[in-house]
Amino acid sequence: MNKTVQKPTLLEALIPIIFLISLLAMNVYVFSNEATSGSNQMVLLLAGLVAGLIAIFRLKISFETITHGILRSITSSMEAMLILLLIGALSGTWLLSGIVPAMIYHGLNLLNPTIFLVAACVICCIVSLATGSSWSTVATVGVALLGIGKTLGIDEGVVAGAIISGAYFGDKMSPLSDTTNLAPAMAGTDLFTHIRYMVLTTVPTLTITLLIFLIWGFASATAENADISSVQNAIAKEFNISLWLFVVPVLVITMIVKKVPALPALFIGGLLGGVAAVIFQPEIVSKIANTEGSGIKVYYMGVMKAMYGQIQITTENQMVNDLLTTRGMGGMLNTIWLIICAMVFGGIMEISGMLERITQAIISSVHSAGGLIASAAGTCIFFNITASDQYLAIVVPGRMYADTFRKRGLKPENLSRTLEDSGTVTSVLVPWNTCGATQASVLGVATLTYAPYCFFNIISPLMTILFGVLNIKIARIPKTEQVEELV
């Protein structure tokens, strides 16, 4: 940055935020669920333009510096965008091979509407805890559970809420999760102290979540549900339903548990799905290829189409037809467009110091431990909304609040828990956040449709704030250590 760079005032820092929120609200009113199809992207760019003009003409920041901030921000999200593309390919081959249909077929035998939401949440809790990845959990078992839930006649928003609630439990509690390792690193504590301390707020949050889903299931048990046998018959008539198909998802989950990075694990999972399609569903592969010829050429074309484009398996049951549709890599491009635009805005806001200025204003106005924890939680949510990235919502508040927590006599695990309870789990509730945009694309359910039912994600920041305000299990630095630190 240039030597003549000025620090933004609070008003200057808030102008792009006010502009963004105002136009996003207008988009929701005008476009409803179609807002992410282009209008939100344009609003993010326009808000970035407003922030850029303030940075250049008021703060004297060079255009080159702003460009550097934008590129750095986009680069930080590249892995997420690549994972999104690979999830698109995986969903295509797993549908073509019959893996997802087989999950739906057998799942209908095990689950009923009364316990389905609780079971879906618990299943996703277990898988995400074992893998450390909410994205992989949603993209694999989550997709199948959504299909089962829709077949049982349960609203897709509620089902998606149960899936995401369970998936983000593991994302914040598993030692294999990147955010679970990132939060204590930013706060200055160790991993297992962080996990043990999170149990205090996470267990009651998950318990309340499961009770809500259980009551919801019993309350709606008398609702008219789909004819399960007809759905199973339609699937069995079209696909070769074999238990051997489950080898592929088991291998993918095993790779993730063994700490194989998400990119190669998902890529291998997509390729294995293609191999399984050729072995178990050669007729369907030929139908998708829709070309003359036979053998390797047809199989190659069918699998490739499933990986990069939209496919639909047509049966005699319309509900099944709706379930057996996938968009492949191409279907993820709109989400990637949204992520890039969000990173442009977030990059300008961070490089210009506007996000930091807003956070400083918040810190200066709180004095109690409960107020400090509440402000840290609010800042994480604020960054999820404005910076549009889960990691920024952990890293930036973590850096900003670490010294303040220590000076107020609070152990770092208080901050690391707050970062996870607020930064990790609320990211998926924001339509233009990388997490919110991704899960909406993977599940095919709009963010604002599932967000009201993500009870675990909604209750988590409220629980951590409640613990702080009521002074429940707040770890404090002994007075002697505080004196030594000051000396």
pLDDT, tens digit, for every residue of 14-37? 999 889 878 877 877 787 657 667
Residue 430 lies in a domain: no
Show the domain range for 300.
79-331
**Res 340 pLDDT > 80:** yes
Per-residue model confidence (pLDDT) at position 487: 43
Distances (CA, A) of 54 to 14, 48, 158, 168, 472: 11, 10, 42, 37, 43
Residue 21 lies in a domain: no
Q: Which tokens in the block code for residue 362?
A: 């918040």
Tell me what percent of the residues of the chain surpass a pLDDT of 90. Answer: 36
Mean pLDDT highest for which of 190-194, 252-256, 304-308?
A: 304-308
Do residues 280 and 244 touch, judged by C-beta distance below 8 A?
yes
Please count the residues of the chain.
487
pLDDT, tens digit, for every residue of 47-69? 999 999 999 999 999 999 999 99
Q: With a threshold of 0.85, does the pTM exceed it?
A: no
pLDDT, tens digit, for every residue of 73-104? 888 778 778 887 887 898 889 889 998 888 87
Q: Which tokens in the block code for residue 257?
A: 């548990």
Instruction: Tell me which residue of 270, 294, 276 sits closest to 239, measured CA to CA.
Output: 276
Residue 48 lies in a domain: no
Per-residue model confidence (pLDDT) at position 293: 66
pLDDT band at 417 (very low <50, low <70, confident <90, very high): very high
Residue 325 lies in a domain: yes
Residue 457 lies in a domain: no
Domain tally, the chain = 1
pLDDT, mean of residues 441-462: 94
Residue 276 lies in a domain: yes
Residue 378 lies in a domain: no
Residue of higher predicted confidence among 258 and 3: 258
Helical H segments across 387-411, by residue range: 392-407
pLDDT band at 180 (very low <50, low <70, confident <90, very high): confident
**Res 135 pLDDT > 50:** yes
pLDDT, mean of residues 167-189: 82
Q: Which long-range contacts (CB under 8 A, 24 or more apart) does 204-211 make?
A: 204/463, 205/456, 205/459, 205/460, 205/463, 206/125, 206/169, 206/456, 208/455, 208/459, 209/121, 209/165, 209/455, 209/456, 209/459, 210/118, 210/121, 210/122
Residue 62 lies in a domain: no
Tell me what percent of the residues of the chain surpass a pLDDT of 70. Answer: 93
DSSP states of 222-277: TS----HHHHHHHHHHHS---GGGGHHHHHHHHHHHTT--HHHHHHHHHHHHHHHH
Q: Is 326 helix (H, G, I), strand (E, B) or coil?
A: strand
Q: Is 311 helix (H, G, I), strand (E, B) or coil?
A: strand
Do residues 160 and 143 touch, judged by C-beta distance below 8 A?
no
